[in-house]
Amino acid sequence: MNDSKCAISLREVNRTFDDFVAVRDLSLNIADGEFFSLIGPSGCGKTTTLRMLAGLDSPTSGSIEVHGKDMVGVPPYRRPINTVFQNYALFPHLTVGENVAFGLRERKTERREMARRVGEILELVHLPGKEKRRPRELSGGQQQRVALARALVLKPEVLLLDEPLGALDLKLRRSMQGLMKEIQREVGITFVYVTHDQEEAFSMSSRIGIMNRGILEQVDTPQAVYRRPASAFVADFVGASNHVTVEVLSVAGTRYRVAAPTIGTVDCDGVDGIASGSTAAMVVRPELISIVDSGTGASLSGTIRDVSYNGPTVDYLVETGLGTFAIKTDGQRLASIDSSVGITWPASACWLVPMPSELSANETSEEATSA
């Protein structure tokens, strides 16, 4: 990515609070006009990163550049960056129009020009003619759009969004996601979007960064992150996955031959750089596993412990000798609780990641399920 096309460039950014490391060695480039999402469980450092971009917090070390200009030490009111805050932070003593015009007034915009731009931007967020209303008279979704308009009207180089849809109910969230995508395409401003909802991030973003305990674990397109997660944590966070601990027999580039207990030898692709002879985690996606009759050609046999029917899919939990597997099926074949079944998957469904350390393995799986 060359520098002129780079909207944001973070270099080895660290942020520590007393003895707590909120962000560790974070380096990241975000291209101009990109819709970039930063996801991770609560406390992973994504909001701290956003606050450092906004200027509401400063890094302990490292550099932050916006379009090539160094931003460290520049106060928020002098940055070409605007933010949509988590709880909107609309000014309750001002009308919707005055809220949207707040930044324009600080920039000494001429009166008529101001009214025109406020009207235009309210049109864009589908709130035309609401200038005279008070924020508290609006619904949550409308307030959210006012917050968006208030930031967008200043035509920032970068727009930061801190869990902007967190307070809305599911249905409203889906429709707001659509609106957000549409607006981003229309204005072409670089969006940096923070959320703990991976589905939300997947459906909107051109690229995603996944953070865990202050470390940016992977940055890639949603498809790549989902198909080729860089770590067991990422695999868990972007959609429940199953792990099997395996031994690496041989390595050829990113192609591995591994020995899995009970299952036997498997050839699969994986993350670059896992050493031959080491133990690693083989990730199997729930939707790529099929349930078959026990015995015949099954990779593993086990007992169904839970069935949940979701309409288009049916989810199973199957207890096997290698732990409990989550399986997502299309619901064509129904099995009942406590029945013995076999499960199987093609070798292409496997992906090898480095073995997570014992501590983080426990922690991350907990965080992923609670998120």
Which residues lie near another protein (CB under 8 A)? 54-56, 75-77, 81-83, 85-89, 91-93, 102-103, 106-107, 135-143, 150-151, 154, 172
Nearer to another protein, 52 or 138 (CB): 138
Nearer to another protein, 121 or 280 (CB): 121
Nearer to another protein, 98 or 267 (CB): 98
From the CB of 89, what's the least distance to another protein, in Å? 4
Separation CA 235–CA 118 (nearest Å): 43
From the CB of 139, what's the least distance to another protein, in Å? 4
Report which of 98, 156, 107, 170 is spatially closest to residue 130, judged by C-alpha positions: 98
Does an H or E element contain 50, and which?
A: helix 46-54
Spatial contact of 341 and 318, defined as CB atoms under 8 Å apart: yes
From the CB of 97, what's the least distance to another protein, in Å? 14
Strands (E) across the chain are located at 6-17, 20-31, 35-39, 61-66, 69-70, 81-84, 158-162, 190-195, 207-212, 215-220, 242-252, 255-260, 264-270, 279-284, 290-292, 300-309, 314-320, 323-329, 340-344, 350-354
Report which of 307, 282, 306, 297 is spatially closest to residue 343, judged by C-alpha positions: 297
Beta strand pairing call for 190-195 and 158-162: parallel
Nearer to another protein, 169 or 247 (CB): 169
From the CB of 127, what's the least distance to another protein, in Å? 11
Q: Which amino acid, 347?
A: A
Nearer to another protein, 103 or 354 (CB): 103
From the CB of 7, what's the least distance to another protein, in Å? 17
Residue 319's CB is within 10 A of a number of other CB atoms, namely 13
Nearer to another protein, 58 or 87 (CB): 87
Starting at the edge strand that comes first in sequence, how are the strands of the sheet with 20-31 ordered?
20-31, 6-17, 61-66, 69-70
From the CB of 137, what's the least distance to another protein, in Å? 7
From the CB of 220, what's the least distance to another protein, in Å? 29
Spatial contact of 5 and 31, defined as CB atoms under 8 Å apart: yes
Nearer to another protein, 89 or 292 (CB): 89
